[in-house]
């Protein structure tokens, strides 16, 4: 173990880097659609309850595990978890923190590269000549009807995005990650504010406007209190809080590991968490849906967000709608996709740092070389997502690493922190150096409420029913109709419930199901590989001791 | 926008805005001292 002497240059830089880690594309694309589809304004009640009872306590846990591990020279999850107890298997739980950040980075950098490409195409006026709905499938080379794609332009932007990430990471914590966050986070806030003001003040007499943008805001905020009684609303709210804070990924632990023993974590974690909420709840709800409603009407927006995602609106619709804004159209496009790019890169840097830290700490590899290793692994895994995009490889990555693995890791870390490390030492760790008094009630929340919350989210993800309502599914089960798994539940995915003619080959050619299963095997192999590296690192350590 | 939507929006924005401002100002203050 070489350990690294790096540390954060300033407290504001740390908070902005942590907030940048949390603020991602989902703040602007997923949150407004989730809110609109799950009770509107009433969604915010379970959302804020989940933030206080699950999000905030877990932030403190991850910061505490990170700072604790950093004192022993460990800046990545395997080493940190090894120090939480005497059990040798703890470090393999930490592997999840390494595996998740590494594999999420692979497909996330690809999405990030789309935003960069869209900035370019907004500026050069592509969307004034070509509809984004035609442009996007061509860009991905996903319209050829096959199971593979070779998007030349998409690959160029992917390489560029990856190069930028590697370059920033190779510059180090302060000169690279912190400086980037200090520059991009304020810009993101300014760009979002400009678009929100412009969108919300669109006059009803403006060309192309069919409805007031405030009707869109009403769609997001109108409380449908009946939704509060539906478990789906609570699960959706808890899930949104969980994903928006970048919990269960290993990146928060990693950033916090560069703090000193008596540095505050209570106030820093709360600040970063609330800053993310500010971007999501205030700015995230004020751009996409109001602008889309103004030009498309509420019915079209309701249909476009029916799946709980605003991705199609953000990438396929908004570039077109900006064309109504005359000379401001390229500027608006550049602002929108730049802010998405800033949100993306500040998150992907946080996904890269754990691997760099692991290689530096446990294998003594220099930062520049470690950054290249991150670039290489992200390139290989990312290429799989790019080439097999039409067969659903990208979605497989998103589900197993960007959704399932996060929840599993968070669930395990919550139990380990409370029951193995111990709530006494754990609470002392959170309170040490604290610049705010953390209410003692949170000790009990951490001990009993947060793990139960996570367990419910986990079980919800495992057995999500095919029907939209949990109540319907439960009464169906009680009346002997059985339980049908949703295609996006864990068991539904494993059983391929959305593919009744499931087969690996048809007429000798591989099917989508084949690529999906190969993707799962690939991810499993990456996990095994990470575990083997951890085993090797600890064996080397034993030999040297 | 309906009255109840305005109430939800203003209440939530006030809560989130106040907490964010409170914690960030506290950090800036601590940094100065």
How is residue A224 written in tokens?
Answer: 């449908």
* pLDDT > 90? residue A39: no
Q: What is the pLDDT of residues A79-94, one digit of tens each?
A: 999 999 999 999 999 9
pLDDT digits (tens, 9 = 90+) for A93-129: 999 999 999 999 999 999 999 999 999 999 999 999 9
pLDDT digits (tens, 9 = 90+) for A161-176: 999 999 999 999 999 9
> In this structure, are residues A211 and A23 in contact, taking their beta carbons and an 8 Å threshold?
no
Mean pLDDT of A127-151: 91
Distance CA A373, CA A385 (A): 18
* Spatial distance between the Cα atoms of A24 and A342, rounded to a whole number of angstroms: 8
Nearest beta carbon to residue B27 from set A11, A48, A217: A11
CB atoms within 10 A of CB A277: 29
Q: Confirm or reject contact between A430 and chain B (CB < 8 A).
A: no
Encode A462-492 in three state secondary structure. HHCECCCCHHHHHHHHHCCCCCCECCCCHHH
Nearest residue to A141 (alpha-carbon basis) of A348, A307, A385, A323: A385
Nearest to A67 by CA among A434, A524, A506: A434
Of A242, A217, A214, which Cα lies nearest the Cα of A46?
Answer: A242
Give mean pLDDT, residues A334-353. 98
The shortest C-alpha distance from B20 to chain A (Å) reads: 5
Q: Which residues of chain A neighbour B2 with C-beta distances below 8 Å?
A: 218, 222
Min Cα distance B26 → chain A (Å) is: 8
Find, among A162, A161, A99, the residue nearest to A522 by Cα. A99
Residue of chain B nearest A286, judged by CA positions: B9
Kindly state the percentage of chain A with pLDDT values over 90.
82
Distance from CA of A351 to the nearest CA of B (A): 24
pLDDT surpassing 70 at residue B33: no
The closest of A52, A53, A55, A35 to A44, measured between CA atoms, is A35
Residue A185: the pLDDT is: 97
DSSP conformational letter for A261 = T
Residue for token digits 């709360």?
A: A270
Inter-chain Cβ pairs, chain A and chain B, closer than 8 A = 81
CB contact under 8 A, B16 and A275: no
Which residue(s) pair with A300 in the sheet? none
Query: Tens digits of per-residue pLDDT, A414-468?
Result: 999 999 999 999 999 999 999 999 999 999 999 999 999 899 989 989 999 998 7
What is the per-residue pLDDT for A511? 94
CA A537, CA A524: separation in Å to the nearest integer? 20
Long-range residue pairs from A481-488, CB within 8 A, at least 24 positions apart, any chain: A488/A399, A488/A464
Q: Contact at 8 Å (CB) between A484 and A467?
A: yes
- Mean pLDDT value of segment A184-204: 96
Does position A2 have pLDDT exceeding 90, yes or no?
Answer: no
* pLDDT given for residue A302 in this prediction: 86
Mean pLDDT of A365-376: 97
Q: Residue A248 to residues A62, A100, A404, A405: CA-CA distances in angstroms?
A: 8, 8, 10, 8
Selected residue of B2, B5, B13 to mutate for chain A interface (largest A Cβ count, 10 A): B5
Residues on chain B touching A217 (C-beta within 8 angstroms): 1, 5, 9
Please give the Cα distance from A142 to A145 (Å, whole number): 7
Burial of residue A338 (CB within 10 Å: 0-12, 13-18, 19+) is buried
Which chain A residue's Cα is nearest to B20? A274
Measured between CA atoms, the residue of chain B closest to residue A47 is: B12
Q: Which of A73, A25, A98, A18 shows the shortest CA–CA distance to A377?
A: A98
B8 touches chain A (CB under 8 A): yes
State phi, psi for A485 to the nearest 5 degrees.
-80, 140
Cα(A419)–Cα(A448) distance, rounded to whole angstroms?
Answer: 11
- pTM for the complete prediction? 0.95
> Would you state the pLDDT for residue A3?
54
Cα–Cα dist A71/A88, whole Å? 19
pLDDT at A246 over 90: yes
Higher pLDDT, B30 or A27: A27
Cα A367 from chain centre: 25
Indicate the average pLDDT of chain A: 94
Checking if the pLDDT of A1 tops 50, the result is: no
Q: What is the mean pLDDT of residues A231-252?
A: 90
């Amino acid at each position: 173990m070489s350990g690294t002497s790096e540390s954060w240059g300033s407290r504001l830089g740390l908070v902005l880097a942590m907030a940048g880690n949390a603020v991602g594309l989902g703040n602007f694309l997923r949150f407004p659609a989730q809110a609109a589809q799950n009770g509107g304004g009433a969604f915010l009640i379970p959302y804020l309850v989940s933030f206080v009872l699950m999000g905030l306590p877990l932030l403190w846990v991850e910061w505490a595990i990170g700072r604790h591990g950093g004192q022993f020279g460990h800046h990545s999850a395997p080493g940190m978890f090894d120090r939480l107890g005497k059990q040798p298997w703890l470090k393999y739980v930490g592997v999840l923190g390494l595996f998740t950040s590494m594999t999420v980075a692979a497909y996330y950098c690809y999405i990030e590269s789309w935003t960069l490409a869209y900035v370019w195409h907004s500026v050069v006026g592509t969307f004034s000549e070509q509809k984004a709905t035609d442009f996007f499938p061509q860009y991905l080379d996903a319209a050829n009807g096959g199971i593979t794609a070779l998007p030349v332009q998409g690959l160029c932007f992917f390489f560029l995005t990856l190069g930028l990430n590697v370059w920033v990471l190779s510059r180090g914590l302060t000169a690279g990650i912190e400086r980037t966050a200090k520059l991009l986070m304020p810009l993101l806030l300014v760009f979002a504010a400009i678009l929100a003001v412009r969108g919300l003040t669109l006059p009803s007499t403006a060309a192309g406007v069919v409805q007031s943008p405030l009707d869109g805001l009403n769609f997001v905020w109108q409380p449908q209190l009946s939704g509060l009684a539906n478990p789906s609303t609570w699960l959706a709210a808890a899930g949104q809080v969980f994903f928006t804070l970048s919990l269960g990924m290993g990146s928060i632990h990693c950033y916090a590991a560069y703090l000193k023993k008596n540095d505050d974590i209570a106030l820093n974690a709360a600040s970063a968490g609330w800053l993310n909420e500010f971007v999501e709840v205030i700015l995230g709800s004020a751009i996409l849906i109001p602008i889309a409603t103004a030009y498309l009407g509420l019915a079209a927006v309701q249909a476009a967000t029916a799946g709980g995602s605003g991705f199609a609106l953000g990438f396929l619709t908004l570039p077109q709608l900006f064309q109504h804004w005359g000379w401001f159209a390229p500027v608006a496009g550049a602002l929108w996709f730049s802010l998405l790019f800033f949100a993306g890169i500040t998150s992907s840097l946080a996904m890269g740092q754990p691997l760099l830290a692991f290689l530096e700490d446990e294998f003594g590899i220099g930062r520049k070389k470690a950054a290249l290793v991150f670039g290489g692994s992200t390139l290989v895994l990312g290429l799989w997502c790019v080439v097999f995009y039409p067969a659903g490889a990208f979605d497989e990555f998103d589900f197993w690493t960007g959704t399932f693995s996060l929840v599993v890791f968070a669930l395990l870390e919550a139990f380990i922190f409370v029951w193995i490390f111990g709530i006494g030492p754990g609470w002392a760790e959170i309170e040490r150096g604290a610049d705010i008094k953390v209410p003692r009630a949170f000790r009990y929340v951490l001990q009993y409420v947060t793990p139960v919350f996570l367990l419910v989210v986990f079980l919800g993800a495992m057995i999500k029913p095919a029907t939209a309502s949990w109540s319907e599914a439960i009464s169906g089960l009680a009346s002997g109709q059985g339980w049908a798994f949703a295609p996006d539940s864990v068991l539904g995915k494993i059983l391929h419930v959305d593919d009744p003619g499931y087969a690996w080959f048809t007429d000798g050619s591989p099917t989508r199901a084949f690529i999906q299963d190969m993707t799962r095997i690939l991810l499993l192999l990456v996990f095994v590989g990470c575990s083997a590296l951890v085993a090797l690192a600890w064996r080397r350590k034993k030999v040297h001791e | 926008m309906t009255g109840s939507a305005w109430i939800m929006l203003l209440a939530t924005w006030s809560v989130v805005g106040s907490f964010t401002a409170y914690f960030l100002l506290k950090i800036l203050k601590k940094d100065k001292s």
